Each structure stands twice: as structure tokens, then as C-alpha cells.
Structure 1
Amino acid sequence: MYLNFRTPGRRSRLAAGPAVATAVALGLLSACGQSSHPPSTGTGAITPGAGQHQTAGMPGAAGPGKTAGSAPGTSPEPMPSMSMPMSPPSTGAAAAPVSGDAVAIKNFAFAPATLKVKVGSTVTWTNQDTDAHTVTSTGSGGPLRSAALNTHATYSYTFTKPGTYSYLCTIHPFMTATVEVTR
């Protein structure tokens, strides 16, 4: 049996067996190996076949106890082996400077984000996260240059000149903060 496919100005022939010809004629074959069976739930739903699975976080996957598409606006749960920064919603306003001599590194942020100290003060940073972080001056020539701080490790620096000292974590550059040093 031969199937004729006609396009303007061209003729081509494709040899096909009776089963393929019947399947094509009935529209049962589709691209990408998708099943021609009707969807099991919902309009056009496709479910994993034997030996296939969906992992939370993949498009179309649902987290534990959820069904795909059942809760609009919810996001998939993070993969258990990954550390994800979980920060509170931002109000858009910058945090007011805080006086003190300690900065906590937790939840992928420096707290407080702005610290006010007097000249001669020693500030100590303590990593309370499970991931390593650094305390490094932004720009060139800044005085803050810690090694990678593992969990519970500390870094201290004594500020001898007034000024505004901006710094970040070189491992996670979105983590930024400032120390304001006054006389």
C-alpha cells in the first residue's frame, strides 16, 4: 500500500504497511510518542507511564499531598538536598541602622543589614547558617576580607577610621550589608 501526500507542485509516495495507514487515517499517531488514549483526568491530562515519575519542582509536578494545578499561586516545594534562602517578604523600605558590635549571618542574610559603631569598635560576624559565607568589602581595597566561615565560625574586625563600609558574601553575592563608623 502507498500513501500519497500532495503539496503544491510536488508529489511524493511513502510506502506503509496496512496498520500504519489505518493509524494515520484515524489520527491515532502523534508526535513525541504521546499516547493516543484519552486523558485520564482533566482536559488533555498526561500521566507518567510505568517506570516514569515526576519530581517536585519539575513543570507539571505536584509536591507531597498536592495534585498538579490544584492550588493556583502555590509554588513547588524545594528539593530536600538543596539549601534555599528563605527570606521574609520585603516591605521595600531599607532597615534602620542598628547599634551594636555583632552581626549574625543567618537565612542567607547579614543581620542587621546596617550596623552603626564608633571608631575603635570591634565587630564580630557569626555564621549561623549551614552553608559557608564570607565577609568581604565591596569594591577594591576594603578592609574586610574573611576566609569562608563554616557554621558557628566567627570573623572580627576593628574599625579605626570613620566611614561607610559596604560588604558582601563572595559565595552568595546577593547577601549585602553595611557598617557605618562614626567618631
Structure 2
Amino acid sequence: MLLAASAGFSVAQAQETNAVTIKNFMFSPMAITVKAGTTVTWKNLDGEPHTVVNDAGLFRSAALDQNETFQYKFDKPGVYKIFCGIHPNMRATVTVQ
């Protein structure tokens, strides 16, 4: 039972490392590297709405208000360029191995 609890804790920790915050009109971190099959979560901490858009059209979030999140599971290796559809100067990269 203790083993299962510690394994669950490890999974929770791993999920947090796949989190990107949106704050001060920036994605943080601006570049993240994950393994194929990983779900990345973006959370908007700004008072202004933001979107999470892939420049190749693979995904596009709805406008995220403060404290709202968007998740996307990256199944295929590659480099994914991300930007905010409302503020296109906000850019980030997700590298999937």
C-alpha cells in the first residue's frame, strides 16, 4: 500500500512538470520538452483572456479566463510551435521526443 501511495505521488509530480503557466503575457516556460504520449497543461494566471494555438492548426483552445486550463496530449514526436491567438507575440515551443 505504501508503494502505491508513493507511486501516485511520483505521477503527480511528473504531471506538474508538464505544466505551462500564462502570466504577464508570456508562456512560462517558453520551451518545454516532453516524451510522446505526454499531456501538457496550460493555465492562465493573467486577468486577461489568452488562447493556446498550434501554428500548424493541430489544436486551438477556447479563450482561457483567469485560472482556467487547457490540456493537449502530444502523441507524436516533433517540435510544436505555440502562440496566443489573441496576443500573437506570445510564443512558446513544445518539443516531443
Q: Which residue among 59, 65, 75 is the counterpart of 1:150?
A: 65
Alignment root-mean-square deviation, CA = 0.8
Q: Does 1:174 align with 2:92?
A: no
Of structures 1 and 2, the larger Rg is shown by 1
> Between Structure 1 and Structure 2, which shows a larger proportion of helix residues?
2
**Count of residues in correspondence between the two structures:** 81
Q: Does 1:116 align with 2:33?
A: yes
Residue identity (%)? 52
Gaps of 5+ in 2: 1-16
Letter in 1 for 2:90: M
Q: Distance in 2 between matches of 1:144 and 1:176?
A: 15
User: What does 1:1-183 align with in structure 2 at a 5 Å threshold?
Assistant: 100-139=17-56, 142-182=57-97
Q: CA deviation at 1:144?
A: 2.4
1:62-107: per-residue Cα shift (whole Å, max 9, x none)?
xxxxxxxxxxxxxxxxxxxxxxxxxxxxxxxxxxxxxx31000000
Q: Distance in 2 between matches of 1:179 and 1:145?
A: 14
TM-score by length of 2: 0.81
TM-score by length of 1: 0.43
Gaps of 5+ in 1: 1-99
Specify which structure has the bigger relative contact order, considering alpha-carbon pairs within 8 angstroms and separated by 6 or more residues.
2
Letter in 1 for 2:51: T
Q: Distance in 1 between matches of 2:94 and 2:63?
A: 20
Q: Which secondary structure does the structure 2 equivalent of 1:131 belong to?
A: coil
Q: Distance in 2 between matches of 1:160 and 1:133?
A: 24
> Between Structure 1 and Structure 2, which shows a larger proportion of strand residues?
2
